[in-house]
């Protein structure tokens, strides 16, 4: 994947980490928000990154990453315009976290459905790959953990799209574990809870998953 345009939907830490990572790979990146003006400083200080509305950002990217609040992801996709996702590889890094009952959060969908599956249903023409949802954003790019490269768990229906996302993960220092179709997002979103609960109980947020093989 050389010199593609990337649209990152989301102005939070996850969106910024992905935007920095893609710019670091030499891609042209647009990062999106309902209020792009708040990203002006970030865009100015990050080479290769510009800011735009969700719609401008989705239209810009050959590849799109979704990094929006779980409960607002449908709304963000509507604002971005579903036609702007047609045929594109879409990284879905969201988690369906419900903080309404305080900490720890709960999943607002699971077991028989997932946010990843919803994103794929809202964007039937897109090639959605659930990924980057099972680790904190500080470790997305070159995690460099003492125990060796962690594994990024990915799920999606399109083999070629998963290959592209796997290449990105490899460039950023990850092993990759493909767990099947987009319905496997149910389990990857539950894994996020394992990551969060361990962080909350240990008071440390520097962990990542790795599958060990004999
Ligand atoms: N924190 C982590 O390290 C981590 C790791 C992996 C996955 N995740 C997941 O990644 C996603 C992003 O997390 P985050 O912490 O970076 O940011 P966040 O606060 O969860 O989401 C921020 C984004 O959501 C958008 N948003 C919020 N309410 C909206 C609404 N009503 N309509 C449309 N858009 C709305 C915001 O838009 P504006 O820009 O317009 O404000 C912003 O772009 C979440 O789903 C999270 O669970 C987080």
pLDDT tens digits, one per residue of 34-83: 999 999 999 999 999 999 999 999 999 999 999 999 999 999 999 999 99
Q: What is the 125 CA–ligand 1 centroid distance (Å)?
A: 23
What is the pTM for the complete model shown? 0.98
Ligand 1 atom nearest residue 76's Cα = 33
Q: What is the pLDDT of residues 126-135, one digit of tens each?
A: 999 999 999 9
Say if ligand 1 is within 6 A of residue 31 CB. no
- Distance between first and last Cα of the chain: 32
> Which pLDDT tens digit goes with each residue over 182-213?
999 999 999 999 999 999 999 999 999 999 99
Counting from 1 in the atom list of ligand 1, the atom nearest the Cα of 35 is 40
| pLDDT of 33 over the 80 cut | yes
Chain segment 130-157, per-residue pLDDT in tens: 999 999 999 999 999 999 999 999 999 9
């Amino acid at each position: 994947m050389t010199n593609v345009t990337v649209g990152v939907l989301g102005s939070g830490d996850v969106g910024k980490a992905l935007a920095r990572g893609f710019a670091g790979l030499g891609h042209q990146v647009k990062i999106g928000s309902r209020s792009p003006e708040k990203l002006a400083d970030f865009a100015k200080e990050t080479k290769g990154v510009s800011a735009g509305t969700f719609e401008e950002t989705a239209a810009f990217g050959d590849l799109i990453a979704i990094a929006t609040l779980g409960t607002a992801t449908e709304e963000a996709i509507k604002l971005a315009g579903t036609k702007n996702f047609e045929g594109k590889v879409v990284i879905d890094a969201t988690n369906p976290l419900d903080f309404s009952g305080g900490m720890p959060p709960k999943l607002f969908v699971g077991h028989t459905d997932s946010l990843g599956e919803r994103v794929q249903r809202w964007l039937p023409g897109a090639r959605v790959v659930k990924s980057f949802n099972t680790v904190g954003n500080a470790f997305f790019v070159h995690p460099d953990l003492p125990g060796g490269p962690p594994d990024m768990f990915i799920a999606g229906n399109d083999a070629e799209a998963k290959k592209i996302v796997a290449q990105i993960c490899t460039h950023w220092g990850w092993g990759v574990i493909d767990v099947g179709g987009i319905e496997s997002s149910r389990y990857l979103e539950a894994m996020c809870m394992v990551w969060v609960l361990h962080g909350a109980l240990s008071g440390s947020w520097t962990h990542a998953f790795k599958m060990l093989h004999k």
